A and B are shown apart, each in its own frame.
Chain A
Amino acid sequence: MAERSGDGGAWLPERRQGSRPLWIALGAASAAGALAGALLVVAGAATPAEPGRGLGALTSVEVGVALALAASCFFGVAAVALRLGIALPLRQLAAEARFAAEAGAERAIEPGRHRWLAPVPAAVAELAGALASGRRAHAAAIEAATRGAAEQRNRLETILRDLSEGVLVCTLDHRVLLYNRSALSLLRSAGEVGLGRSIFNAVAREPVLHALERILHASEPAGEVAGTCSVVCATADASRLLHGRIALTRGEDGEATGYVLTLADATREVEALAARDRAMRELADGMRRPVANLAAAAETLGAFPGMPEAQRAAFDAVVQREGGALVACLERYDGAARGLGGGHWPLADVLSIDVFRLAARRAAEEGGPEITPIGLPLWLHADSQSLVVALARLATRVAEAVGVDAVDVEATAGDASAYVDIAWTGAPVPSATLDAWLAEPLAGALGAATPGDVLLRHGSAAWSQALGDGRSRLRTPLPMAASPAPRDAPASPALPARPEFYDFDLPAAAVAGGDRLLRRMEFVVFDTEPTTGLKASAGDEIVSIGAVRVVNGRILTGETFSRLVNPGRPIPPGSIRFHGITDAMVADAPPAAVVLPQLRAFCEGAVLVAHNAAFDMTFLRMKEAESGAVFDMPVLDTLLVSAFLHPDIVDHDLDAIAARLGVRIEGRHTALGDAMATAAVFVALVDLLDRRGTTTLDQLLRSSRMAMELRARARQF
């Protein structure tokens, strides 16, 4: 047995070493065991009992026992070998494979450790590898698809949010899948609008069903936009009339999956149309009777000149009374028509500077004059495209007639409307000449028109008048936008006042060119927004700069400088509400070192102006070494100018000064908006200075310095 165990035990260390194939060891062990068993049986049978008997004398029982022993030895060893060599490694491999499957751990399986089972572990490892790389590709694909979907969703959300039309996406059983803000505000009063709810909670059922039927069962797609249909319907509570379109949404197989309904409020248009119809009818009906009576009385009087005096008096009374009735009828109609507004031409809110820029480009293309937009931008309610064409044409005609090659355009706010003025140096345009221009055909304006038609669409007229100073203007009143704030303007928060800064480096001595007249000088009015939105504390940086040129007392609206600046540090979240600029917005913006030289170039030859200028100058000077942009020109401060002009008033906040000077400023939420507002205030201040005898730059710098010293001293008490 010792031998057997020795033989049998021989593979154990080998297994640990893993150096010999399993089957050789197994075979050897089995053979050795069987041989040893057989020998023992043979020896036991021959030696004591019948010593003379050879091998050939072995009984069949002995052989059987020997064989059985050998077999049991073989199976015993084989079982151990199988367990250690195959079952355990297999279990291990299975666990590793499961781990690989669950966790995606590619390296969990090492083929080298399972030699006995080779090439299975290698194959499994390969499989795990393929699985892992498949998973990576899958994950990447999902990420890309998610990103794409998110982008598309963002785009769609933007479109939906900004559309003034209400948009509802519905299933074929009329449940709402998606709606935008406009839809909500259109339908809110009528009924509940919500995801998964029936659209008929808010919109009348029949017109929608009818339109869908027309699309679904139309024999041929009508026109270009197949699968859509216009719809006029009411809200479910019949409070508003809506008009819009329905379009089917289709799945990949082309089957209709639902529909998109776009809606706009038509109540006003429809009511205006109805009112116009009613007014027209009333005019005709109202006139018929007095006209008949008047005509009959006049004819009778003419036919019978010799009628008795008493009879004649009765006829005179009829003429008077019916004349009065006609006048009343006409006035009623006129009042009604006036209330209906300018007509049905679609107008939209548009910023004056956008119209002016386009008009300037158009005039330039047509060989017209150089058009310079001046003043503060104003929101107009206009047909921008027609207005651009008409303005460019009128400016061109003015230039030809007067013999100038440059005109200014400006929008100013009146009481009821905005005035758009073309101004030039020279005489006013004769009324008849202007009328002829207004009657010329205008190529490129919508709805084949003349400049006069364009003005009529806006309920406007045009006239030319002298301004004094040798200048004249052509004025057209236009409707102002109902709400002065543009749609995307961030709600302007109540800004805490910036601390006042004083810069005692302001030149006390006369500067070069200091004898120039303020009214004839060139200024750049600018504003900066620091990261904190408040004060130039340690580590504070600029996030945006806005500037506008002011030349000869005119704000050159078209010549502005507006840049976001990457501050190179995170923007404190708390300050975003002051300037509305986020880290994401400045991520791709250039740093101050790039922007400041651009600003310096914009300011070339000009005197700088800012409100509380020392504050902004701190930033510019701080960056001088880094950017190489040296701002060494004279600097004026509207705060100090105002303090000089009104020394007894404490509040020299920009809004306060503007209010005092009657300057209307809007859009104060960006650096450029603030620069524009400051420019408007500055121009008004220069006017006031002029009247008070401060006319040159030197005088103003001296006065500013005086005001600053007084103010700084006053603050010490």
Chain B
Amino acid sequence: MAASVLIVDDEPNIVLSLEFLMRQDGHEVRVARDGDAALAAVAERVPDLVLLDVMMPGRDGYEVCQAIRANPACARTRIVMLTARSREVEREKGLAMGADDYVTKPFSTRALVERVREMLAAGHG
């Protein structure tokens, strides 16, 4: 069964690539343009993995992360944070808030696809 991936990012130019790459790799993909849409999507159906941008207007990535972690139904959901903030302390904050991985933009698309594949395999295994 295809894994479900939720892409949460307000920047269409990166969503274009992410959506294409995830579909290409055989995942079932949904896209949310902001934090509220993300939580609505999660409420509708719990995804296996969330690609979560940190910097978004309204609810930011940290808040969405906090909300997903507070939801017991999402215990098996993996969260990969994508962010334009590169400071070490931000990474620490992301992991402290419950993210499973923290990827700084710009990133290698090939490496990201690989990372997502690994996490989904571990989650199902």
Contacts and interface: CB of A to CB of B under 8 A. Distances in A.
Interface residues of A, number: 20
B96 A463 contact: yes
B59 A465 contact: no
Contact of B62 (A326, A416, A417, A463): A463
B86 A465 contact: no
A431 B66 CA distance: 8
Contacts of A463: 62, 93, 96-97
B111 to A, nearest CB: 12
9 contacts: A326-B106, A327-B106, A338-B88, A417-B89, A430-B63, A431-B62, A431-B66, A432-B63, A475-B96
B106 to A, nearest CB: 5
Contact of A459 (B59, B65, B86, B87): B87
Task: Tell me the interface secondary structure of chain B in the complex.
Answer: helix
Contact of A330 (B60, B65, B90, B106): B106
Interface of A: 326-327, 330, 334, 338, 416-417, 428, 430-432, 435, 459-463, 465, 475, 477
Interface in B62-112: 62-63, 65-66, 86-90, 92-93, 96-98, 106
Nearest to B91: A461
B89 A461 contact: yes
A178 to B, nearest CB: 45
A327 B66 CA distance: 30
Chain B interface size, under 10 / 10 to 19 / 20 to 34 / 35 or more? 10 to 19
Nearest to B63: A431
Contacts of A338: 86-88
B106 A460 contact: no
B105 to A, nearest CB: 9
Contacts, number: 41
Contacts of A326: 106
Task: Tell me the interface secondary structure of chain A in the complex.
Answer: mixed
Nearest to A416: B88
Given A334-B86, A431-B63, A461-B87, 7 more contacts: A330-B106, A431-B97, A459-B87, A460-B89, A461-B93, A463-B96, A465-B98
Contacts of A461: 87, 89-90, 92-93
B84 to A, nearest CB: 10
A465 B89 contact: no
A432 B65 CA distance: 12
Given A430-B66, A431-B60, A431-B66, A465 B96 contact: yes
Nearest to A478: B89
Closest 10 CB pairs of A and B: A431-B63, A431-B62, A463-B93, A461-B89, A327-B106, A432-B63, A461-B93, A334-B86, A431-B66, A463-B96
Contacts of A475: 96
A409 B82 CA distance: 32
A158 B88 CA distance: 41
A436 to B, nearest CB: 11
Nearest to A465: B96
A459 to B, nearest CB: 6
A462 B90 CA distance: 9
A590 to B, nearest CB: 48
Contacts of A462: 93
Nearest to A462: B93
Most buried by A among B66, B89, B92, B97: B89
